[in-house]
Every structure is written in C-alpha cells, then in structure tokens.
C-alpha cells in the first residue's frame, strides 16, 4: 500500500474529534437490521451527528427520514437535500414559523405541537405560505418535559389539528429519554412498556374520535430493541447508536448481552505536561469534551482515569500512581455524551485503519435556534 | 428617536447570546481603573470572550496585550492585529510549533513551558524560523495542573531557557484558578498570599542565579483586587470580568462589598411548552448554555429556578408551583460559566437599551487546538 499523501491519525493536531468510518458503518447497518427485523420504519435523530453526510448514509440504509431537535438543524438538512424531516421540538414564534415554512418548501418537514395557540399559529403560517403542514401532537409519556398528558387533552389537540384546512394530523410523538440508559434490560423493558402503553392508549382515544393515527414516533437507542419487539411505535427515533458514548455503552441487551453498537467517535488529545510522577495533563478540557454526563474515558491505558481540570486541561491519573505517559504522547478518549461533544467541533476527522480518510463538516453545529 | 430599522431584542430568534454593550464597557473600565490604581500591567484573558473586537476594546483601555489559552486562539488574535499575546498553556508537538512560529511572525507571541524537552523543541523551531521566542516558565503555585513545582526545578528550567540563543527568558507564570471563586474575601486573600508567595520565592531563586525575571504573570478576576494590593505579579490575567457569570458574581470584595463587575452576558430563551401548571419548558438546554458550573439563573422572575432538561430543553420552576409564563414568553438567563457558554455560540448579539446594536463574531470559538 502506498502511504505517500496519507496522513496518520497521530500526525493530527489535538484535541481533535475522530470518527472511525468502519465502526460508524457497522453501527448504521446494525440499526438497519434491527428495524428491518422488527418490520418498523426508523427515523434517526440528526441532533446527535448534525451532519448531512451521516444523514445521507442513514437514508441510504433505508431510514424513512431524519429527526431534528431544532429548526436550525432542519434547515441545514433540508438545504443538503434530506427529503423527509421531523422536528421533534415545538417551533414557537413568528420568525421561526416563517423559517419553518421556507424549510417545508424545500423538503417534507413535519413538526410536533402541544399547545392550541401554537397550532393556530402553525395553521396561519401554513396558510400564508400556501402549503399544508404535517403536525404530530407530542404526548408526555413520563419524561415530564414537553408534551400534553396522555388521554383526552391529546385527543382534543389532535382534533384541533385535524380540523384545520392548512394542517394535516399525522399522529403522535412520545419520547421518554430518561429511561434510555437504564442499565438492566428487564428494568428498561418494564419502563418502556409503561411509557409506550400511555402513548398507545392515547392513540386509541384519538382513533375512537374518528381520526386516523398514522404515525406513532419515539424511542431511542436504548429502547430500540424493546420498541422493535413491542410494535407500539410505527417509527423509531434512535440517535446515539451511530457513535455510542461511554455512558450508553454498557447497557444490557436481551439475554444478558451488551448492546451491539460500538464506539465510533473519540477525542484524541496530547499530553502537554508531566509535572509530577503521578499525573499527566492533557489538552482536553471542557471546551473539547462535554462534561454533562461525567468524565470521558481513556482508551487502552490500564488503570487510567480522566478528570476535567478546567476549560482546556484534563488530568489523567493511574491506579497505583505510576504514570507511563510522556509529554507529546497521544491519548484517545471516549466521550461520555456524544451529542454535546459533537456540538463543540466544526468537523469530523474521518479515519480508517489509523489514517485520515476524509473530513466532514458538522454543518448543523451550534444551530440551536 | 427613530426606531425604524432598529431591531428589538425580543424580536430575535432564541436561544441567543446577548452582550450588553454598556455593561461590557463599564466592566472594561473598572478593570482598567483597578490595574491603574495598583500600578500594574494587565493582560486580559481572551479565552473568555474569544473575540478580537473585545480584545481591541481591552487594548484601547490600556491592556498590555492579551492572554490566549490555546495556540488556535492566538492565531485568530494575531491575524486580527492584536500586537502582544501570551499563550498561557504549553504548546506541544511539531505541527503546533510550526504554527506558533507563523503566529510569532505576525505578532509578538510569548509562550509558557514546564518541560525541558519542550523547551529544546521550542528553541529548534525558533531557530528554523529565524526568530527569538519569548518563553516564561510555568510554576504550579497550588492548582496541581501544569507547571513545575516552585523552587529549584523552576530555576533550573529558567536557566535552560536563558541559555538558548533562540529563546528569551521573560519570567514566570503562576496561576491558581481554584481559589478565584472563594466567596469570602478574607479566605481568598489568605489563599492568594500563599499561592503568590510560592511564585515570588521562586522568582527570587531565579534572580539569585543571575537571571533577570522581568515578568510575573497570573491571577484572575477573583484575585485581581488582592493581586493589585500585594504587588507580587507584574501583570494580571483577568478574564471573566468582562462578562461576570452567576458563579463568580457573588464573591466578596474588601469591606464586605460585592465584586464590582456586572453581568453583561446573558442567554435569551423562549418558553416553548406549558404542559403542566407547575412548569414551563424553555428552548435553552445543554447546547445553549454550559452546565459545568451548575444551572443557569433566570433574571427578573421572582422565585424561579432553572434545571437542565437535555440538550435542547430546560425547566423553569417557580417557588410555590405557580408559573406565570406563557408559550412564546422570553426568559433571560445569566450563564453559570461564561467561557464554556461563549464557546457554544458563533456570535454575540450586542445590545444597547433593549435594541440590537451590533453583531460580533466569536472568531476563536472552537479553536481548541
């Protein structure tokens, strides 16, 4: 093999966000297989990767479209040619409704709602834009965040949507993020059954009122295997499976197995100081890896743990106090929370077999509006 | 006054990072006055704001230059015409040393070091580039991060620098970040005295070996008033004073006063859901405000507290359970940690009297390398 012109990963300046292409592709195939086996559609959450390239790979693997958490992400995906988008968070305010209509002219864009006045404003904006907008009612199935309570109020809002000439009622969204990382499979299954039950009962109520409920959408990477078996959702919304962060990685799958997705996303850092025998300081701090799910995990260093030490620094300490690292050594870390770590970077350095293969823009980074 | 063409702050899409120009200017003047009264140079830390515009305002207010935490920040500042830069973190690795030399050709750039091999590599890079590089030895005065221990080892490294034809020994850096936010003034003063004492003793040792120590640099916003009185440093490195986050805001000044810097940086969010009587959900989550110093603080809402609720959501709850907010209402928040919050955004929306006055790029955002 000719190495001329190929850059080795260890030649990169750090901190740098690395994406292992083979692992990414295997993860995408695994979720495709899981959904295919369950006979369910899936709509991966693009808030995790914020990359039209990865969205394209997911679509090529049969995804029905993508989810976006924010309108700004949906704009990036629509502009990149993603044909079918669900915005999983309520879109509020006159300026955003106009932007929503512009995006809905480029791609098929559906949105969730949980408020009657917001629904009226969506209808007004759609009327002005001369289009018919797909709307799903968000139901709170246990997370205690957005969404109306399961039952009659959800059914009433479905009626409001269905009664508008400018809106099309598509179904219900119910997402319970709090249970996605429940480690034990049995516990998680019981929680998923309970949450999904609330959504299905509400769907039944809506149907009894004479309105078709075509879509029940929700779920995540952690619940995907259970959602696939229960057949409550018509469409799954997994996000983290493409990367698998350290917080998610250890959760159990049926039969005592570990979940099948592998780490594809890492942060590479460098030892910048060895000021004392028991510690190494790396150039990875709060601005290079998110801390909201706890410390990041060093890879391939027995007995090593990491602790954040400010915006630009981290400690790597070793069990027993003996630190084998020297200034200039590279250290690989698995993020504890991929979504918020990805949001710190402008690009993925895509690697294959220890070489840099490609660079992909994180085009929707920072698109919080 | 003519309002045509002027945009009101409440017309902005959210979440959005707002910078109150008047408050910013007052903060910049206050630090100028503090340093002038103490008769000390000051070199504000640009890692907090990452903005050449704000750096320019600080320089116009008499700052001796700026500090940067990372080479990537220094490159942005040098390219923007900032004439004097100190990189306060060790710069390691061949590629970065080449970049450092390129920056040092544009502006006066000094760097800290704490490792003999790194010093040799700095000398080699400077020789290749045909320039003489200013180097300061970093001393660990209590933080337990980078930096050699106070005493003989620091003096030895100073000798190594001073002995190189391609390097110029400028002095010592000692920064104790851990004590900057000690709330009580007396406690903080005792901690600062102890930390600064270590640095001054080390400087004495270096001087005894026949080497001039021109610069003693360090300190932060919290210690600035004490550093100013003690006259140990020749140059102060305050960063957060321009913005004043909620974590810093309450610390005590001499005589029981509160520190004099005011909040200039806020995040404006919108209520996107009112799903239950006791809670409002806003569009400000982990991707719109950093969580590493705890929850952000709602402004002007009696009895309100905020809790992060995922990447894109936050709860606002009210004492007693009565929530006066409606969907679409705007809520202003004070970040708990300015530096890491700024790093999430691409621009400041600069406001004056409730109107948008300007937009400033956060040009060094994400420059972690």
Residues of B in contact with A273 (CB under 8 A): 90, 114-115, 145-147
Query: Cβ–Cβ of B368/A283 closer than 8 Å?
Result: yes
Give the minimum alpha-carbon distance from A255 to chain B in angstroms, rounded to a whole number.
30
Contact (CB<8Å) B16/A369: yes
CA dihedral for A45, A49, A55, A58, sign (positive or negative): negative
Strand B355-361, strand A314-318: pairing: unpaired
A154-167 per-position pLDDT tens digit: 999 999 999 999 99
Residue B1 scores a pLDDT above 60: no
For the stretch B19-32, pLDDT in tens is: 999 999 999 999 99
Distance from CA of B28 to the nearest CA of A (A): 22
- A69 and B328 within 8 Å at the Cβ level: the answer is no
- At B181, give phi and psi (nearest 5°): -105, 10
CA B272 to centroid of chain Cα atoms: 32
A36 contacts: CB under 8 Å, gap ≥ 6: A62
Chain A residues touching B16 at Cβ < 8 A: 369
Q: Is there a contact between B69 and A312 if contact means CB atoms under 8 Å apart?
A: yes
- Those residues whose C-beta lies under 8 Å from the C-beta of residue B287, and which sit 6 or more positions away, are A339, A340, A343, A366, A368, B311, B312, B344
CB contacts < 8 A, A to B, total 169
SS3 A136: strand
| Among candidate residues A249, A257, A343, A229, the one with its CA nearest the CA of residue A27 | A249
Burial A154-168 (b: 16+ CB within 10 A, else e): bbebbebbbebebbb
Least confident range of B131-135, B174-178, B330-334: B174-178
A280-301 confidence digits (pLDDT tens): 999 999 999 999 999 999 999 9
Rounded to a whole number, what is the distance in Å from the CA of B310 to chain A's nearest CA? 9
Contact A344 B346 (CB under 8 A): no
Chain Cα centroid distance, residue B281: 31
How does the average pLDDT of chain B come out, rounded?
Answer: 96
Q: Which of A146, A273, A340 sits opposite B90 (nearest CB)?
A: A273
| Model confidence pLDDT, tens digit, residues B351-365 | 999 999 999 999 999
* Six-digit token string for A236: 């799954």
Nearest residue to A315 via CA among A279, A352, A364, A268 = A279
CB contact under 8 A, B368 and A279: no
CA distances from A274 to B144, B146, B198, B295 (A): 11, 8, 20, 33
Q: How far apart are CA A145 and CA B272, in angstroms?
A: 11
Residues B307 and B314: their CA atoms lie apart, in Å, by 6
CA pseudo-torsion sign B105, B106, B109, B115: negative
Q: At what angle do helices A71-79 and A52-60 cross, to 10 degrees?
A: 70
pLDDT score recorded for residue A276? 85
Residue to mutate among A270, A284, A368, with most B CBs inside 10 A, is A368
Which one of B146, B177, B270 has the shortest CB-CB distance to A92? B270
The pLDDT tens digits of the residues spanning B197-215 come to 999 999 999 999 999 999 9
Q: Give me A180's structure tokens.
A: 């996605």
Q: Do A273 and B115 touch (CB under 8 A)?
A: yes
Reading phi first (left if > 0) and then psi (alpha if -120 to 50, else beta), residue A257 is in: beta
Whether the per-residue pLDDT at B327 is higher than 60: the answer is yes
Cβ contact, residue pair B69, A328, below 8 Å: no
Peptide bond before A157: cis, by omega within 30 degrees of 0? no
Give first-to-last CA distance, chain B, whole Å: 46
**Residue A245: both structure tokens together:** 């962060």
CB atoms within 10 A of CB A313: 24
Bridge partner residues of A108 (DSSP): A84
In chain B, which residues have their Cβ closer than 8 Å to the Cβ of A345? 366
- What H or E segment, with its residue span, contains residue A196? helix A185-208
CB distance B135 to B168 below 8 Å: yes
Q: Do A93 and B286 touch (CB under 8 A)?
A: no
Cβ distance B313 to A115 less than 8 Å, yes or no, reads no
């Amino acid at each position: 093999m000719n190495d001329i012109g190929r850059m080795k990963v260890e030649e990169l300046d750090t901190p740098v966000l690395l994406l292992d292409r083979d692992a990414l592709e295997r993860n995408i195939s695994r979720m495709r297989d899981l959904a295919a086996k369950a006979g369910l559609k899936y709509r991966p959450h693009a808030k995790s990767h914020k990359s039209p390239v990865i969205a394209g790979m997911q679509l090529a693997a049969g995804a029905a479209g993508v989810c976006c958490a924010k309108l700004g992400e949906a704009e990036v995906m629509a502009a990149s040619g993603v044909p079918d988008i669900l915005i999983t968070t309520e879109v509020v305010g006159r300026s955003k409704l106009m932007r929503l209509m512009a995006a809905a002219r480029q791609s098929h864009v559906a949105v969730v709602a949980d408020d009657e006045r917001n629904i009226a404003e969506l209808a007004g904006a759609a009327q002005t834009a001369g289009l018919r907008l797909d709307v799903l009612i968000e139901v709170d199935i246990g997370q205690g965040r957005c969404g109306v309570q399961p039952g009659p109020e959800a059914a009433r809002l479905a009626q409001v949507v269905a009664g508008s000439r400018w809106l099309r009622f598509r179904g219900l969204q119910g997402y319970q993020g709090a249970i996605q990382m429940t480690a034990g499979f049995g516990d998680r299954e019981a929680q998923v059954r309970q949450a999904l039950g609330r959504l299905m009962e509400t769907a039944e109520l809506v149907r009894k009122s004479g309105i078709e409920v075509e879509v029940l959408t929700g779920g995540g990477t952690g619940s995907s295997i259970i959602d696939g078996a229960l057949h409550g959702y018509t469409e799954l919304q997994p996000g983290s499976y493409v990367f698998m962060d350290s917080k998610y990685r250890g959760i159990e799958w049926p039969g005592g197995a570990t979940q099948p997705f592998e780490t594809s996303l890492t942060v590479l850092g460098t030892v910048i100081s060895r000021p004392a025998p028991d510690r190494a300081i790396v150039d990875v701090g709060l601005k290079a890896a998110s801390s909201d799910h706890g410390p990041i995990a060093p890879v391939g260093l027995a007995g090593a743990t990491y602790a954040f030490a400010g915006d630009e620094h981290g400690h790597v300490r070793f069990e027993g106090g003996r630190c084998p690292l020297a200034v200039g050594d590279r250290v690989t870390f698995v993020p504890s929370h991929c979504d918020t770590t990805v949001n710190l970077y402008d690009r993925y350095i895509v690697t294959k077999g220890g070489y840099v293969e490609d660079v992909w823009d994180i085009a929707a980074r920072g698109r919080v509006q």
